[in-house]
Chains A and B, each alone.
Chain A
Amino acid sequence: MRKPDVKIVLLGDMNVGKTSLLHRYMERRFQETVSTVGGAFYLKQWRSYNISIWDTAGREQFHGLGSMYCRGAAAIILTYDVNHLQSLTELEDRFLSLTDTANTDCLFAIVGNKIDLIDEVGVKDGAKDLNDPGKTISNCDSARATKRVCLDDAMALYKKILKYRMLDEKEVPAAEKMCFETSAKTGYNVDHVFETLFDMMVPIILRQRAEGPSQTVDITNYKPAKQTQSRCCV
């Protein structure tokens, strides 16, 4: 088995489309999936790197496994359903604490999926043409439309995450770059999410390779991120 260079973990409430996102990216098509049991993992060969991508189960029952999956992760994709505000709230309430075990320099991306289900009202210009008229919810179902989660909410969450992880906003990618809206069904923006992360992970991989063969994180040698950023002149 090829040894993965880095790990990406998909987290998020059940039924937000984590498996579909990954499936769309890996298999280039959309498939109705069943509820994920426990977790699954894919190995993606990207350029000369092996990237393992873990799909986790959103069900409460498997919640306890999240911490272990996140251990040593180089990037975490927090996924919510743009049609359900609750799924965004859950990210902060339930899932954020699972990322404690991830690498200190772990990247975060927040992805709002199922953009294809949004009614045209209130959809930003870029996504308009992707709406399949047959699948959209009718205009009169305004209750549904108002529940739509704004990208701003996701960006606010991103900033909260940085605070939670005690990261300096200036030293990590900006919220605008790390919050996405996607549709696993149409494929809209899906590649962009993964490839943006892959690109950002290259320096991490190279640093890991330079540091030697150890590719796992030993918590006994835990050092706070601040220490590694010391400069030569004080």
Chain B
Amino acid sequence: MMNIKAFRLVSAIERELLMGDKDHISIECIECCGKNLYVGTNECFIHHFLLEENMSPNGKVTFSATKQRHKYLGFKKPVNELKAASALNRLLVLCDNTIALVNMMNLEPIPSGARIKGAVTFALNENPVSGDPFCVEVCIISVKRRTIQMFMVYEDRVQIVKEVSTPEQPFAVAVDGHFLCLALTTQYIILNYNTGASQDLFPYCSEERQPIVKRIGRQEFLLAGPGGLGMFATVDGISQRAPVHWSENVIGAAICFPYVIALDDEFITVHSMLDQQQKQTLPFKEGHILQDFEGRVIVATSKGVYILVPLPLERQIQDLLASRRVEEALVLAKGARRNIPKEKFQVMYRRILQQAGFIQFAQLQFLEAKELFRSGQLDVRELISLYPFLLPTTSSFTRSHPPLHEYADLNQLTQGDQEKMTKCKRFLMSYLKEVRSTEVANGYKEDIDTALLKLYAEADHESLLDLLVTENSCLLTDSVAWLEKHKKYFALGLLYHYNGQDAAAVQLWVNIVNGEIHDSTRSDLYEYIVDFLTYCLDQELVWKYAEWVLQKSEEVGVQIFTRRPLEEHQKDIFNPDDIINCLKKYPKSIIKYLEHLVVDRRVQKEEYHTHLAILYLEKVLQQKPSANGNCAEVTETQAKLRNLLQKSDLYRVHCLIDKIQGTSLHMESAILHGKLEEHDRALHILVHELKDFSAAKDYCLWSSQSKDPPYRQRLFHMLLSVYLKPGPSDCDLVPAAVDLLNHHATEFDAAQVLQLVPDTWSVQLLAPFLTRAVRESLHTKRVTQAALGLAKAENLLYKHDKIKLKGSPVRLSDKKLCQMCQSPFCEPVFVRYPNGGVVHTHCAANRHMNPNSSSPGNRT
């Protein structure tokens, strides 16, 4: 059986003190009120003791009773019941069916002799309805059959309040407010003595077994039920707690929250009201009284009186935790909430939750543990400190005292089981990851993040990098040592970078690329470094590694200059001339860089344009004679060159012409001549040297791109003249001329062309040209006519407006009267309505009254 030690049985009154050597004396009833302990005997005596609670040196509670006095009541009957009414300083004594009032201190009967006669048993109302503090409400089961009586008992008088009859003979009673809980012959009922309403609870044969009716709190009773059940019932007749299971022959019950204590002939049993489980059993023979008095539980045989001393709740909880009964400990702790001041409770409860969490943790019940740690607001370092070496060396953390658990560290907890160890580590990882962004982490961010970094590094976990590239509080010195130990050099670089030590970071990465240290985290580390330097603000660092980067790869390396963030250009952090100087040794790089300047950034500087053009040219010339193998590349560079020559107006044309002279780059030289406005020359090259007519036509188009139409026309005419100019190879040029005319009819002045065209050409030959030319000319004519018509119409509209505005004059004279007020105008000021009516300005102010105008809104 799962037992806890909730109570200890301590003797209260020594047998000798009570009865000396008179064996025939036996205890009939007990009352305890504060330190006053009263015992009623079978020989009609009342004994009064003073009870002192002492703490023995070993922390155990003991009691000592000192006898005050005793009183003989004068009958030959036993004292049946004793109840103290401390507010009245009275003890109610039931003996020989009479309840007498005696002084609590000297046990003398009161002078008035007030008493209640004819009582079998009685109960005090612990939830009185009268509101009078100097009055107790007493309910008796009368000697009259099936009768209950209610009395008000004052210091020296008693008064009957109510008499109710019951359907069956009552055997036991308890009172709460207006509600009586009664054990009748065959059942328990709730009876409202005020309204007379009754409510059946459940059947019980009171003649067979002694009933128990015990008020346990506001409007709730504990009853002995069938089969040895302890049943709970409220005044509404419902059960809010599950029953507890006693033995069949239970004779008494008491409450000491959260426990229900029951007595039978052999044992005292303790059940928890929270989970209904039996918690403790104390052997106790021949007991016949069990009662609780203001929280003190007293049990008695006919010869001795004992007290059940509850162990402190915390002690009970700790005992439960020590035997790993987490669930029960938590239930007990929660149940204690209302008996302990709030703040004290919270501190205690949190600690219990944390302890429970570690118990679950040690059993690898991580889900449960996490929930307990969370609700117990565990200082996360308590958990981290279980793992060797995880807390930073600088951490000032010391474990709480007394300790929350019994483990020195994880090794002890897992007893070296590697699999368990791994599970624990995985749990900590997920736990720390979860809490690091919550308030749990407040104040311990460094400890948490450093521990997390160590765990990740050790487990080779991918989240290590995520941790380092996002906001974190990893402590540098600790982390550096740990990452070096686990050869996480790339991560170490990230850590350096996060801590502003970019130089160290890059040096480390460069070492990895160079193969001096080994870390395979990134296979593209070189590109990563380039990228890093591209966005690096530290100019010196970029220069320092520029050579290394370029040596590795000219094309990729140059990105550290070409891909720099845009905003940097405006600040001119890197001087392009310095860069060009640096790149001199790297032909591919320098072209890329100049392209970046000229094409991407559109830097309008002659040097760069000329430099780039020359580099292109050199490359083209260098490759041209060598081989036709990599034809594609030649064309590509050549295309770039041509494009540059065409688009840019900045390069030094003469310089390039000099360089290009004598080479076979006709197209390029045509472009260059074009740039010098030597179109004649250019076209001549294109037509006669290159014989590329379509290029010649394109030349006319792009050269005149940003110029006015006459300029373009001039070029086309020039080309036509070149074609038509008699030369050695004129036979080839005629079709070209015809083609040009027929396809670009609109670019020519038809009249001029007709003069140039040789007479020998047929109309058919030039039919498309002529059709186009005529259509164009007609079109122009019509458009012009339409424009003329529109302009005339517009002019007419304006004229119409002008005439309307002039209109006819209004004459004012003495005879002219205002249409509103019918009086003459005295000043040369008036208002004229669109219908011609003339009124005073002040009359017009009231224009809504104008009789002649239906829409008087418009003044003129």
Contact = CB atoms under 8 A, between A and B. Distances in A.
Interface of A: 7, 37-41, 54, 59, 61-62, 64-65, 67-69, 71-72, 101, 216-220
Nearest to A64: B203
A38 B237 contact: no
Nearest to B243: A38
A68 B221 CA distance: 14
A59 B229 CA distance: 13
A208 to B, nearest CB: 14
A67 B238 contact: no
A59 B187 CA distance: 18
Contacts of A101: 237
B477 interface: no
Given A37-B229, A219-B199, A220-B195, A68 B239 contact: yes
Interface of B: 187, 195, 197, 199-204, 225-227, 229, 231, 233-234, 236-239, 241-243, 245, 276
10 closest A-B pairs (Cβ-Cβ)? A38-B243, A64-B203, A38-B229, A216-B236, A41-B242, A64-B202, A40-B242, A71-B238, A37-B245, A65-B202
A151 B276 CA distance: 37
A219 B195 CA distance: 13
B236 A217 contact: yes
Contact of A216 (B203, B227, B238, B242): B238
Contacts of B236: 71-72, 216-218
Nearest to A59: B227
Contact of A69 (B226, B227, B239): B239
B242 A68 contact: no
B239 to A, nearest CB: 6
Nearest to B227: A61
Contacts of B197: 219-220
A39 B227 contact: no
A40 B238 contact: no
Contact of B227 (A7, A41, A62, A219): A62
B241 A41 contact: yes
Contact of B226 (A40, A62, A72, A219): A62
A39 B243 CA distance: 6
19 contacts: A7-B238, A38-B225, A38-B231, A38-B242, A38-B243, A40-B276, A41-B242, A54-B242, A61-B227, A62-B225, A62-B226, A65-B225, A65-B231, A65-B243, A69-B239, A72-B238, A101-B237, A216-B234, A218-B236
Nearest to A214: B236
Nearest to A3: B240
Given A67-B200, A71-B237, 16 more contacts: A7-B238, A37-B227, A37-B229, A38-B225, A38-B227, A38-B231, A40-B242, A62-B225, A62-B229, A64-B203, A65-B202, A65-B229, A67-B202, A69-B239, A219-B199, A220-B197
B470 to A, nearest CB: 37
Contacts of B245: 37-38
Contacts of A220: 195, 197
A64 to B, nearest CB: 4
A230 B67 CA distance: 72
A189 to B, nearest CB: 26
Contact of B202 (A37, A40, A68): A68
A217 B233 CA distance: 14
A84 B229 CA distance: 29
Contacts of A39: 239, 242-243
A175 to B, nearest CB: 29
Nearest to A42: B242
Contacts of A217: 236
Give the residue among B199, B204, B239 with the most A Cβ atoms within 10 A: B239
